[in-house]
């Protein structure tokens, strides 16, 4: 039956729909969770709030400043020609003054501020060179100051010409016009001159260097011929120096500017111009009223700098018009030092209004204030109060800042409309700028007031001071992070403010156009209204805003414009200025270049960060603050020296206060964990606290100048080096350090390198480095076996003797590399030099030398009778005579000590031989995987022919180099014996060392002494089985090698062979044995048993002597092979 027959009626019970809905719900949940994960991942990978902005790392930056390719002359196109001329003059002067202010900041502040900061001191010669390098700069500055004088004079004369009772333009149109912008720009220019005066006056090192340079010039003038010049040129040069000093360096730049002659008889009258006098004072009071509205408040922006300009203008007023001012107003200005006690100018230079006024207008101080010496007392009380409140104020600013940063991060989409969003954003931007100015002033006021009064800053306040620098860079970082939002909105913000101003000016313009009678004043007002509207219609460039402000001054003389409306328009224009120059204003307000002169705080700050690792992320802000001085360095002629000195200071502070303590702390922590079973100490986290070291390890690399500081990499390198060195010293601890590496990975995320040293093995033996460092001990306590190439310990406190063989040397080379071979040879060379000095002194001794000459003369005279063989009895007699000279406390004769000296020299040569053999053994083991060293193919050529990847070809080239090196090392090898012969032979064969020529004649006695010594040592071994080994020796081939080496150095092999010594020894023992055998063979029955036993013992003794001499002869013959040419 087919399946089609089994059909049921369709029935829907709703289960399919329920399953579908359930699946849809799961899908929605999955998508929501996945989307949240993606957002979290994006936020994690995005710049966090703790990342400081580094402009060097930004490949592209956004410049949102308004810009257009036009100038003031093109913008000023009203139909009123007279109005155009007046506005054009003052606009051009204002732009020129603004440009001069920028030039001073960018070019002339830096060299004076940084002079003497390169750490070289005021040494004779260096100071003169630095001043000599600055002379072109000083000439440029002189030209600049003269240009400023010209602009100031022009501005004053133009104002004096306009504001004059007989000037028709003033009478008809400008009687109610107050050009506050021009006076403000004049005050800015005077502020620059005051700043230059203070910078030079407060740099004591520059003054000292300048005096040294003048003294040098005077010296050269007195002896001009010696310095290839003439007195006339030096006189001219001295005049130039005097001119520079008088105009620039005597602190009279500002004074000379305001003391110029501004009157031009018959044309310009400034000093006796009552109208100009009143206008000048009116503008001073206008600046005062605008400044005092905010001064001393936490929300001030630039009011402190405005106060410098106000004082500069006020003093200028006194000097220009030469008449006292209102005492009440002067008292108000004087009392501002209680609100603004100190003002920061640039770098580490500050300005005090009380000192300035007391110096420039002492008569007004006396008249209005009296001889009150309360300023210093007030300043001290102010600083004491500041000490109490500073940390609290910093904490309050920190809370405000965090709130502002959170608001800046929001997108403000909950606002009702775009206008509200833009207004809120404008307020936020201005609030951030105000906070930056306030925080910067807090730091500068606290530091420089303490410095001026020479009061110590408590270490507890350094944390709060450094927090100010962190907050400044956090503000700058927030502006940078939100640059996309700012760039997107700034055009709309400018447009909104411009639209608000247009709405304010439009009714004024309409009213002026509706009049039927046009006077000259009315026409000027209408031209100003048209100009203001035109400036607001375009891009808000600096030129447009300048013309807008000038036109506003003319419009505000209208009586129908209320004061509230005027103040509102001015506030909007100020907002427009701030928004248009936002980036520059933020950079200036957040500039921490002043921190360069407070760098002694840096070590304390770093130490605090180490003790509080939760603050580690703020290190980025601090390093951003430390980098702010770089643009200042670039304006100097000694940028490289300043940079290197600064980097050295900061790197040293970081190394000493964070990196080194952090490395030690992590190593200690790992050791505590690994050795916790030993209960080395009690670690109570409730008493001692726990440092979160991981917070320091995991911060992103710090950027400082041209290098990146990675704390994690520093720690990994330190632990790698420490673990490797300690494992090398104690290989049995390899497992402990392996566990510490694993723990460092698990606990701190540190990826450490494997040590790659062999574990403890039975074949490791004594390390070659230990032998090399203590070769003088090694050659004295070890004996060498020539045939097996092994060193055996002479004596031991245990029942075992240590040995050193080729395998041990090979293991050491595998651990330390082949480079130690040459080092070992060098150590041996130094050891041999010291031993040969003793060797020469022994042979030079009169007792030894006289006996050697006697033996030589005897042998030469009796050579034929002795059959050219050195007599055995003569060697025995030499030993006896040497013993008569005395013995040491250990019972050793001088010949015993000489024999030991030769043995140590031979042991050193045996050590060299073993080093070379160990190197060849190591090389052969390394090359055992190469099938045929004689036929090694070129893998690079094979890879090239096969058209493999460039990386593969490079790898094959490296392999070819390794194989070539192995093949060369295996086939060759340095003959160190020949090298050591070539080094010492010339000195040994020198005529100055003729006493060494007698050496060959002492060899027979020395060999006899050696044989007796060996027999005694072997007897000790037989008699003290199972006991401690004390001079128990069964092999000592170092003596044979030493003899062969010295004979080669002295070129006395032929002389020694002429003695036929070993033949004489063989014949002597053969004769003695023959006599004893004859005695025993011909013995009669009456011979006593004791005599027979004595004869047998004597036979045995002779056999032992003969055998030992034979062994010595074989070893000596083998050793001589090493030194054959």
Q: Long-range contacts of range 761-767, CB-CB < 8 Å, 24 or more positions apart? A: 761/811, 763/807, 763/808, 763/811, 764/731, 764/808, 764/811, 765/802, 765/803, 765/804, 765/805, 765/807, 765/808, 765/811, 766/802, 766/804, 766/808, 767/812, 767/815
Please name the residues in contact with 1011: beta carbons below 8 A apart, sequence gap of 6 or more: 1105, 1108, 1109, 1112
Residues 408 and 428: their CA atoms lie apart, in Å, by: 7
Give me the percent of the chain exceeding a pLDDT of 70.
89
pLDDT at 96 over 90: yes
At 143, the pLDDT band (50, 70, 90 cuts) reads very high
pTM equals 0.66
Residues 801 and 467: their CA atoms lie apart, in Å, by: 67
Let me know: does 996 contact 1051? Beta carbons within 8 Å: no
3-state SS, one letter per residue, for 558-575: CCCCCHHHHHHHHHHHHH
pLDDT at 781 over 60: yes
Give me the percent of the chain exceeding a pLDDT of 90.
14
Residues 1115 and 1109: their CA atoms lie apart, in Å, by: 10
Which pLDDT score is estimated for 97? 94
Residues 507 and 393: their CA atoms lie apart, in Å, by: 46
At 10, the pLDDT band (50, 70, 90 cuts) reads very low
* 803-834 b/e (C-beta count within 10 Å ≥ 16 → b): ebbbbbbbbbbebbeeebbeebbebbbebbee
Token pair 């807090």: residue: 442
Helix (H) or strand (E) holding 351: strand 349-351
Residues 842 and 290: their CA atoms lie apart, in Å, by: 101
Three-state DSSP class for residue 553: helix
| Beta bridge mates, 707 | 704
**Ramachandran angles phi, psi of 760, nearest 5°:** -65, 125
Residues 535 and 75: their CA atoms lie apart, in Å, by: 8
* Rounded CA Rg of the chain: 49
More confident residue, 236 or 48: 236
Which pLDDT score is estimated for 704? 83
pLDDT at 99 over 90: yes
User: What is the number of residues in the chain?
Assistant: 1125
- Residue among 93, 145, 141 at smallest CA distance from 260: 145
Helix-strand-coil percent breakdown of the chain, rounded to 5? 75, 5, 25
Which pLDDT score is estimated for 483? 82
- Which of 80-89, 415-424, 554-563, 809-818 is the most confident on average? 80-89
By DSSP bridging, strand 349-351 and strand 343-346 are antiparallel
More confident residue, 502 or 223: 502
Which pLDDT score is estimated for 298? 34
Which pLDDT score is estimated for 43? 58
Mean of pLDDT values over 14-27: 77
Chain segment 902-942, per-residue pLDDT in tens = 999 998 988 888 888 887 787 777 777 777 766 778 888 88
Helix (H) or strand (E) holding 323: none
Let me know: does 803 contact 792? Beta carbons within 8 Å: yes
Chain segment 1007-1044, per-residue pLDDT in tens = 988 888 888 888 777 665 544 445 567 788 889 899 99
**Ramachandran angles phi, psi of 344, nearest 5°:** -80, 130
Which pLDDT score is estimated for 60? 66
Chain segment 213-238, per-residue pLDDT in tens = 888 888 888 887 888 888 888 888 88
Which pLDDT score is estimated for 396? 93
Which pLDDT score is estimated for 196? 93
**Ramachandran angles phi, psi of 1118, nearest 5°:** -65, -40
pLDDT at 1049 over 90: no
More confident residue, 1032 or 311: 311
- Residue among 523, 425, 535 at smallest CA distance from 80: 523
User: Which residue blocks in 927-949 are alpha helix, DSSP H?
Assistant: 939-945
Which pLDDT score is estimated for 514? 81
Let me know: does 405 contact 478? Beta carbons within 8 Å: yes
Three-state DSSP class for residue 965: helix
From the CB of residue 79, how many other CB atoms can be counted at a distance below 10 Å? 10
pLDDT at 44 over 50: yes
| Beta bridge mates, 804 | 791
Q: Which residues in 745-844 belong to E strands, given as ranges?
A: 782-785, 790-793, 803-805
Which pLDDT score is estimated for 848? 85
End-to-end, the C-alpha distance of the chain in Å comes to 111
Chain segment 842-871, per-residue pLDDT in tens = 888 888 888 888 888 888 888 888 888 888
Residues 731 and 750: their CA atoms lie apart, in Å, by: 23
Chain segment 318-334, per-residue pLDDT in tens = 898 887 778 888 888 88
Mean of pLDDT values over 1080-1108: 73
Mean of pLDDT values over 1105-1113: 87
Let me know: does 161 contact 167? Beta carbons within 8 Å: yes
Residues 979 and 1005: their CA atoms lie apart, in Å, by: 29
Which pLDDT score is estimated for 683? 60
Three-state DSSP class for residue 1032: coil
Which pLDDT score is estimated for 974? 60
Which pLDDT score is estimated for 413? 58
- Residue among 550, 617, 720 at smallest CA distance from 174: 550
Helices (H) and strands (E) in the chain, counts: 47, 7
Counting beta carbons within 10 angstroms of the beta carbon of residue 544, is it exposed (0 to 12), middle (13 to 18) or buried (19 or more)?
Answer: buried
Q: What is the dihedral angle through the alpha carbons of 276, 279, 281, 285, rounded to the nearest 10 degrees?
A: -170
Which pLDDT score is estimated for 253? 93
Residues 891 and 907: their CA atoms lie apart, in Å, by: 23
- Residue among 605, 613, 609, 608 at smallest CA distance from 694: 613
Residues 174 and 154: their CA atoms lie apart, in Å, by: 19
pLDDT at 52 over 60: no
Which pLDDT score is estimated for 302? 66
Let me know: does 589 contact 437? Beta carbons within 8 Å: yes
Residues 1033 and 1035: their CA atoms lie apart, in Å, by: 6
Which pLDDT score is estimated for 297? 40
Chain segment 945-991, per-residue pLDDT in tens = 888 888 898 899 988 887 777 676 655 556 778 888 888 888 888 88
pLDDT at 1071 over 90: no
Q: Identify the weakest region by mean pLDDT among 56-65, 360-369, 427-436.
A: 56-65
Could you say which DSSP state residue 247 is in?
A: I
Chain segment 349-379, per-residue pLDDT in tens = 999 988 898 898 888 888 877 765 578 888 8
Q: At how many degrees (to 10) do helices 126-162 and 231-244 cross?
A: 50
Query: Would you give the distance in Å from CA 1099 to the centre of its chain?
Result: 81
Residues 523 and 80: their CA atoms lie apart, in Å, by: 7
From the CB of residue 922, how many other CB atoms can be counted at a distance below 10 Å? 22
Let me know: does 713 contact 660? Beta carbons within 8 Å: no
Q: Identify the weakest region by mean pLDDT among 47-61, 256-270, 501-515, 534-548.
A: 47-61
* 327-355 b/e (C-beta count within 10 Å ≥ 16 → b): eeebeebbebbeebbbbbbbbbbbbbbbe
Which strands, in side-by-side order, build the sheet including 782-785? Answer: 782-785, 790-793, 803-805
Measured between alpha carbons, how far is residue 689 from residues 459, 463, 683, 699 in Å?
Answer: 22, 20, 9, 22
């Amino acid at each position: 039956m087919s399946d089609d027959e089994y059909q049921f009626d369709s029935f829907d019970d709703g289960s399919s729909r329920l399953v579908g809905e359930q699946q849809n719900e799961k899908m929605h949940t999955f998508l929501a969770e996945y989307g949240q994960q993606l957002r979290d991942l994006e936020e994690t990978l995005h710049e966090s709030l703790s990342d400081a902005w580094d402009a060097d790392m930004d490949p592209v930056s956004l410049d949102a400043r308004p810009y257009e390719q036009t100038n003031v002359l093109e913008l000023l196109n009203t139909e009123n020609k007279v109005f155009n001329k007046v506005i054009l003059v003052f606009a051009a002067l204002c732009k020129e003054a603004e440009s001069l202010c920028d030039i001073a900041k960018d070019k002339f502040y830096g060299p004076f501020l940084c002079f003497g900061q390169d750490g070289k001191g005021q040494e004779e010669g260096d100071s003169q060179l630095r001043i000599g390098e600055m002379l072109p700069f000083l000439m440029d500055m002189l030209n600049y100051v003269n240009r400023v004088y010209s602009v100031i004079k022009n501005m004053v004369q133009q104002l004096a010409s306009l504001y004059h009772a007989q000037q028709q333009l003033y009478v008809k149109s400008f009687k109610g016009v107050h050009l506050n912008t021009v006076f403000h720009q004049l005050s800015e220019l005077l502020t620059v001159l005051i700043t230059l005066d203070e910078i030079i006056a407060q740099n004591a090192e520059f003054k000292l260097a300048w005096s040294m340079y003048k003294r040098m010039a005077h010296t050269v003038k007195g002896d001009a011929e010696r310095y290839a010049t003439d007195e006339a040129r030096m006189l001219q040069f001295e005049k130039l120096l005097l001119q520079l000093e008088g105009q620039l360096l005597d602190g009279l730049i500002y004074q000379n500017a305001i003391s110029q002659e501004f009157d031009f008889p018959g044309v310009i009258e400034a000093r006796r111009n009552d109208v100009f006098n009143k206008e000048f004072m009116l503008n001073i009071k206008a600046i005062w009223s605008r400044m005092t509205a905010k001064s001393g408040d936490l929300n001030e922006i630039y009011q402190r700098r405005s106060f410098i300009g106000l004082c500069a203008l006020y003093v200028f007023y006194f000097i220009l018009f030469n008449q006292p001012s209102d005492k009440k107003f002067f008292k108000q200005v004087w009392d501002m030092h209680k609100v603004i006690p100190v003002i920061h100018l640039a770098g580490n230079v500050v300005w005090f209004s009380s000192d300035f006024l007391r110096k420039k207008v002492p008569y007004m101080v006396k008249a209005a204030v009296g001889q009150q010496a309360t300023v210093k007392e007030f300043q001290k009380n102010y600083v004491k109060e500041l000490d109490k409140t500073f940390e609290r104020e910093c904490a309050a600013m920190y809370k405000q800042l965090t709130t502002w940063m959170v608001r800046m991060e929001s997108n403000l989409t909950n606002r009702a409309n775009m206008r509200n969003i833009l207004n809120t954003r404008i307020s936020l931007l201005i609030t951030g700028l105000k906070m930056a100015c306030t925080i910067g002033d807090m730091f500068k006021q606290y530091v420089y007031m303490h410095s001026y009064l020479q009061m110590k800053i408590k270490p507890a306040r350094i944390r709060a001071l450094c927090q100010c620098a962190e907050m400044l860079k956090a503000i700058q970082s927030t502006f940078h992070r939100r640059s996309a939002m700012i760039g997107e909105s700034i055009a709309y913000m400018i447009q909104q403010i411009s639209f608000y101003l247009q709405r304010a000016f439009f009714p004024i313009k309409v009213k002026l156009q509706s009049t039927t009678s046009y006077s000259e004043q009315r026409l000027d007002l209408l031209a100003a209204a048209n100009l203001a509207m035109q400036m607001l219609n375009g891009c808000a460039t600096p030129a447009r805003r300048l013309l807008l402000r000038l036109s506003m001054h003319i419009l505000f003389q209208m009586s129908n414009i209320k004061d509230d409306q005027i103040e509102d328009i001015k506030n909007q224009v100020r907002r427009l200025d701030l928004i248009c120059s936002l980036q520059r204003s933020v950079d200036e307000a957040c500039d921490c270049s002043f921190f360069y002169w407070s760098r002694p705080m840096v070590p304390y700050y770093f130490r605090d960060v180490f003790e509080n690792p939760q603050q580690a992320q703020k290190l980025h802000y601090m390093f951003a603050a430390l980098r702010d001085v770089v643009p200042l360095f670039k304006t100097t002629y000694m940028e490289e020296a300043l940079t290197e000195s600064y980097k050295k200071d900061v790197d040293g502070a970081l190394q000493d206060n964070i990196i080194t303590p952090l490395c030690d702390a992590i190593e200690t922590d790992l050791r505590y964990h690994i050795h916790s079973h030993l209960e080395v100490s009690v670690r109570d986290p409730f008493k001692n606290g726990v440092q979160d070291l991981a917070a320091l390890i995991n911060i992103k690399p710090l950027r400082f100048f041209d290098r990146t500081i990675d704390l994690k990499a520093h720690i990994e390198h330190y632990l790698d080096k420490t673990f490797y060195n300690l494992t090398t010293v104690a290989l049995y601890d390899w497992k402990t350090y392996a566990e510490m590496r694993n723990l460092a990975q698990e606990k701190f995320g540190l990826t450490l390198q494997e040590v790659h040293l062999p574990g403890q093995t039975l074949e490791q033996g004594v390390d070659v480095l230990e032998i090399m460092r203590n070769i003088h001990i090694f050659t004295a306590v070890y004996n060498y076996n020539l045939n097996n190439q092994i060193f055996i310990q002479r004596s031991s406190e245990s029942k075992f003797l240590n040995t050193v063989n080729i395998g041990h040397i090979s293991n050491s080379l595998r651990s330390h590399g082949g480079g130690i071979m040459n080092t070992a040879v060098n150590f041996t060379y130094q050891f041999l030099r010291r031993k040969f000095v003793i060797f020469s002194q022994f042979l030079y001794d009169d007792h030894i030398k006289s006996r050697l000459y006697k033996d030589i003369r005897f042998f030469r005279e009796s050579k034929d009778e002795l059959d050219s063989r050195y007599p055995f009895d003569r060697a025995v007699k030499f030993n006896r005579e040497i013993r008569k000279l005395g013995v040491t406390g250990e019972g050793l004769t001088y010949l015993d000590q000489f024999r030991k000296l030769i043995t140590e020299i031979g042991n050193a040569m045996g050590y060299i031989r073993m080093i070379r053999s160990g190197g060849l053994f190591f090389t052969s083991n390394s090359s055992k995987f190469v099938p045929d060293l004689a036929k090694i193919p070129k893998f690079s050529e094979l890879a090239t022919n096969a058209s493999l990847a460039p990386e593969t070809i490079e790898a094959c080239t490296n392999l070819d180099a390794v194989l070539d090196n192995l093949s060369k090392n295996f086939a060759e090898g340095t003959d160190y014996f020949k090298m050591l012969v070539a080094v010492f032979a010339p000195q040994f064969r020198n005529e100055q060392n003729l006493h060494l020529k007698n050496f060959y004649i002492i060899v027979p006695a020395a060999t006899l002494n050696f044989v007796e010594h060996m027999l005694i040592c072997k007897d000790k071994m037989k008699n003290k089985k199972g006991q401690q080994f004390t001079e128990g020796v069964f092999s000592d081939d170092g003596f044979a090698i030493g003899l062969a080496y010295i004979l080669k150095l002295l070129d006395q092999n032929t002389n020694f062979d002429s003695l036929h010594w070993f033949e004489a020894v063989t014949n002597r023992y053969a004769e003695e044995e023959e006599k004893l055998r004859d005695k025993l063979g011909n013995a009669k029955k009456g011979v006593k048993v004791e005599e027979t036993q004595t004869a047998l013992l004597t036979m045995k003794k002779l056999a032992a002597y003969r055998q030992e001499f034979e062994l010595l002869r074989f070893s000596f013959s083998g050793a001589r092979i090493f030194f054959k040419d």
